[in-house]
Amino acid sequence: MIPARRRDFNAAWSEATFAGLRASLEAHAGGPLGFPISETPCFFPRSLMNELSAAGAELVAQTLGNPAGVAAAEAAVPDRFRGPGAEAHPTFLQVDFGLVRTPGGAIEPRLVELQAFASLYGFQLTIAEAYRAAFSLPASLDLFLGGLDQASYHALVGDAILGGHDPNEVVLMEIEPRRQKTWPDFAVTEAMWGVRAVDTAEVTREGRRLFYQRDGRRVQIKRIYNRVIPDELERKAVRLPFDYRDDLDLEWAGHPSWYFRISKFSIPWLRHPSVPPTWFLHELDRLPADRDRYLLKPLFSFAGGGIIFAPGDADIAAIPVGERRNYILQERIEFAPVIETPDGPTQAEIRMMYVWTPSTSLRAGGLRPVLPLIRMGRGKMMGVDHNKGLKWVGASAALIDETVRHP
C-alpha cells in the first residue's frame, strides 16, 4: 500500500534471505512451523492502522454497551462453559478486517469477525521483528499499536497473561499443544513470559485446586491462560479433569464463556460503516436472490470452519430448524488485492489485537490496541486450505510507516 517501499522490497527480495527468515522463526519455535509464512511483510500507513484500531474499539464498545445484545449473547453460552471466575471484561479481543476499494478508489475496512479469545501475542511480535531484521528494513518502521514499544508491549501483555502471579503458577492450557498449528506461539510465549503450555490431560485436581508437573515438581495452577477452543473440545469429546462450572481456586485469563459472548453472534447487533449486512439465519423469511454475494457462517466455529459460499436451498434445508439460530448470513466482502507481489496482487486480512487492562490505583483500565496480525491470500479465504500451492501468501506482519497516509 506504500508503492515506493513495496517496489524497493520486491526488487531486493531473494530466496536466500527468505530462507534465513524461516530458519530464524523455526529456531524461535523449536522446530518446523505448521503453517505457511508469506515471503513479505505488509507496509501500512499509520493512518490506516489508527483507523482500524478505532473502528475495532468502537465495535467492541457497541457489543458490550448493548443491553439486549449482551443478554442474548449470555443466553447463547452453553451451560458447560458457564461458571464462576470469568473476568468482568474479556482479557483478550481480536477484530478482523478486510480491505475493500470503494467506487471512488478509496480503501476502507470491512469487518470479517470479532472474537474474545487469545491470539498469537508472542509469535506475531517475533515474526514482525524477524522480517525487519532478515530484510534489513529500517527501524523507523514501527510494529506496535497504541503508542507502545517493545518494552511496554512486553509489560502490558505479560501483565494480562500473568495477572501478577509467578510464571510458574500460570499455565497456557491447550488440548495436545504440541500438535496444534499454534505451537510456535506457545514456544515463544514461554520464552517471553515464562508461561508453559500444558496439555489438559496433564492437569490434576485436588479439591478446589488444580496442579501440573513442571521440571519434576508438582505446582499449583493459580491462573489459566486459556487457549482451549470450545468447538475443538466438543468435536474431540475431550474430558477435562475439572468442570468449568466448578468453583476452583484460580483465575482465568480468557474464560471460555467470553468465546461465546463476543463472537460472530455479535455481528448482527452492530451498526457501523465497516460492518457488512448480517442476519441470524432463523430470523430470515427467505434468502436473498443473489446468493453469490453471501456467506453462511456457523456462529462458534474457529478458523473459518463450516463457512458456505453462495448458500443454496439445499444448504439451508440441511440445517435443522432448531439449529438455525446458530448461523448467520453475511454479505460477502470483496477483498481488494492491495499488496503487489512478484506473483500478482495479493489480499491482506488485518487483525487488530487488543488486551483489556484492569484499573489500578495508578492508572485507568480499558481496552488497549497492541499489535496487528496479518494474513495474506489470493484464494476465496485467507486460511491455508484456500491458498494451497501459492507463494507470497500466509502469515505475515504489518510494518507501520508514520510518514504517509492511506489512499
Domain boundaries defined on the chain: 3-276+333-401
**For residue 356, which of 117, 166, 24, 192 has the smallest C-alpha distance?**
117
254 vs 265: CA distance, rounded Å: 18
Q: How high is the pLDDT of residue 404? A: 75
Q: What is the mean pLDDT of residues 324-345?
A: 92
> What predicted TM-score, i.e. pTM, was given to this entire model?
0.93
Q: How high is the pLDDT of residue 313? A: 86
Q: Which residue has the higher pLDDT, 298 or 154?
A: 154
Place of cell 485446586: 209
359, pLDDT greater than 80: no
Angle between helices 123-134 and 15-29 (to 10 degrees): 150
394, pLDDT greater than 80: yes
48, pLDDT greater than 70: yes
Name the burial class of residue 12, with classes exposed (0-12), middle (13-18) and buried (19+) by CB atoms within 10 angstroms of its CB: exposed
- Rounded to 5 degrees, what are φ and ψ at 220? -75, 140
Q: How many CB atoms lie within 10 A of CB 397?
A: 24
Place of cell 495452577: 221
3-class DSSP assignment, residue 7? helix
3-class DSSP assignment, residue 298? strand
